[in-house]
Structure 1
Amino acid sequence: MFYYQMLMAVQLCFTVAAAPEPIETHAKVVGGYPVGIDVVPFQVSIRLRYYEELEFGSGHMCSGSVISQRVVCSAAHCFAENDTYPAQYRDPENYVVVAGSSHIQSLNRFSEVYLVQEIIGHERYHPYTLENDIALVFLNSFIPYHHFIIRSLPLASAAFPPGTFCSISGWGNVYRELHQAIVPIQDQRLCSFIYISLPKSQICAGYLSGGVDACKGDSGGPMVCNGHLTGIISWGVDCGKVFFPGVYTNISYFLNWITKVNSSLDYEKYLRMRGLNGVGPLMLPTIELYVICSVLLMAMIKTIY
């Protein structure tokens, strides 16, 4: 056992020495394969609203997972304003969420674009260690339970054992198409050895041989094990690098925090969002749309008859 640890330590030293960058965030899926949104109907694209209003698809910067009719779970570092501790989070009106679409730059008739009413990042998120890298995004509209495409994803209540194969997905590739890859969860002791120390709030997954991983372009995306949201794509060393599995926020560790924050949200409250750069809101809350459509329909009926 001692010789095995010495060998691992030597390999780690040489690998670290060769690594061009110590930490990568905003991950994309590498070594994966293209999929449609119907395969991952819970996945959403989180975008900077300013750029989206200039050109649709240009604002994508992170991913997230739908976990309720109005809540998306993502990574805190996607919304942190700077590298100070405690973290300050950007104004929610700076973001939009696009759901139900396989491609970054196109929509289909079932796609939805949501404004963001509130962002609740973990109060103990640390920008240097990326511990507690979790945030909840409260939408300014609701997703119908029986939406044709968009679905919520149940949360993992406990950590899965090492060797469990899980899926990761995201749009962060040169073609801006949704990709998915399969990675195995690694033993927590091995992860702590590789990264010197890895807290229980984080898990690592991937192949020690490298080649399949998350990398630049899609942080906040889901790691799904046995149909449950188990991890949030958070950080890693380079992209698919040998001996360095990707690091994910451990959802089961934050169940109480998620429950507490979710219970504090007012699901019946909808804010009228202001426009940016003189441009009006991308969409109104769904309830308001129903009211407007009903009024217009009644007016048309009266006009006909």
Structure 2
Amino acid sequence: MNLLTRCSLFILIIPYVATLWVSFNAARNYLTRNEKNSRILGRPYEVSLQYIRRNLHFCAGCVLNEKWVVTAAHCVDKLIDTPSKIKVIAGTFDLEIPRSAHYVNKIIVHEDYNANDSWKNDIALLEVIKKFRHVRNIVPIKLPKKNIKIHNGDLAVVSGWSRMLQNSRKLERLEVEMISREECARAYGVFGLSIHESQICADVPDGATGSCNGDSGGPLTLRDELIGLVSWSYGCGNKDFPTVYIRVSKYLGWISANALTIDS
């Protein structure tokens, strides 16, 4: 299937394709190329989720602690019963050099995840079999405080490995601008979509390439704290339609209850 055809409203009708393409389109947001490693990029917590059979990257996630990864539910909801089909690659910025591979023991998708309600509660956890070693290129993400304040105009950073562009096997990042939930809801109201309190939105800068295939579940950070996970958007970098992220601060209790020993 032509990837460009997946940037259409048709995706709304078939949310299950999100495991290949982030519902509507999973955010990529310009993500400038950088030849430096993930430590210098400041993203040593970011991991690639891959199908074992073909070593195919399909989503991103973040290391929470030595055993757990957080990602988007739509990335793995069809794999709950077959976690052995995927692996987590950590400690690298270049997917051609997979430094640390970790097979998945268990997948936990939020019990109230609903792809038919604007991908509400789009969050999941992966338990790996082999523990992550806390080294310079593999570091747990910092979780936000429950009452973290996010203001319109705040500049956050999103990153990932998009499969949309050629030579995008290297980790890329972009500074994005936070916008209000109301403004985001107005944009998506034309499709009958809602922006829930558990979601936040950000706009790409002028001239950005935009959100594309392969970055779902990746981190949106503000002052080095995980405030969001890439969830969905319409089209690739369409300035009229912001990228929607899961608001991580709404799920701290759920993460703690399910991922056991969360690093503070």
Same fold (TM over 0.5): yes
Letter in 2 for 1:104: L
Counterpart position of 1:240: 237
TM-fit CA distance, 1:20: 5.9
* CA positional deviation for 1:30: 2.4
The equivalent residue for 2:173 is 180
Percent identity reads 29
| Distance (Å, rounded) in 1 between the aligned partners of 2:91 and 2:7 | 36
Answer yes or no: is the 8 Å Cα contact 1:118–1:138 preserved in 2. yes
Give the gaps of 5 or more residues in structure 2: 1-5, 10-22
In 2, Cα distance between equivalents of 1:257 and 1:90: 21
Q: Which consecutive unaligned segments of at least 5 residues does structure 1 have?
A: 1-18, 53-58, 82-87, 266-305
The aligned counterpart of 1:140 is 129
Superposed, 1:1-305 pairs within 5 Å as: 21-22=8-9, 24-30=24-30, 32-34=32-34, 35-38=36-39, 39=41, 40-52=43-55, 59-81=56-78, 89-107=80-98, 111-128=99-116, 129-145=118-134, 147-157=135-145, 158-172=148-162, 173-175=165-167, 176-196=169-189, 197-207=194-204, 211=208, 213-263=210-260
1:131 alignment partner AA: K
Contact 1:206–1:213 (Cα < 8 Å) also in 2: no
More relative contact order, 1 or 2 (CA 8 Å, 6+ apart): 2
Instruction: Answer yes or no: is the 8 Å Cα contact 1:45–1:60 preserved in 2.
Output: yes
Equivalent residue of 1:143, what SS?
Answer: coil
| Cα distance, 1:186 vs structure 2 | 0.5
Cα gap change, 1:114/1:226 in structure 2, threshold over 3 Å: closer, same or farther?
Answer: same
Query: Partners in 2 of 1:179 and 1:29 — Cα distance?
Result: 9
Does the CA-based 8 Å contact 1:230-1:251 persist in structure 2?
yes
- The residue type equivalent to 1:118 in the other structure is K
TM superposition shift of 1:148:
2.9
Query: How far off is 1:234 after superposition?
Result: 0.8
Counting matched residue pairs gives: 231
Q: 1:43 to 1:203 in 2, by over 3 A?
A: same
* 1:228-268 Cα shifts (integer Å, max 9, x gaps): 01100110010110221100011011111111112399xxx
Normalized per residue, the structure richer in helix is 1
Distance 2:199 2:258 in 1: 20
Cα offset for 1:24? 2.1
Shift of the 90–70 alpha-carbon distance from structure 1 to 2, 3 Å rule, reads same
- When residues 182 and 117 of structure 1 are mapped into structure 2, their CA distance, relative to the original with a 3 A threshold, is same
Distance of aligned partners of 1:30 and 1:131 in 2 relative to their CA distance in 1, 3 Å threshold: same
Are 1:124 and 1:132, in contact at CA under 8 Å, matched by a contact in 2?
A: yes
Report the aligned-residue RMSD.
2.2
Name which of structure 1's ranges 246-255 and 194-203 shifts more when overlaid on structure 2: 194-203
After superposition, give the CA deviation of every residue in 1:178-219 in whole Å (9 maximum; x if it has no partner): 111100110122112222231011110014757354221221
Q: Displacement, 1:32?
A: 2.4
For 1:261, give the aligned amino acid.
N
User: Which amino acid letter does the alignment assign opposite residue 51 of structure 1?
Assistant: R
- Per the alignment, residue 13 of structure 2 pairs with none
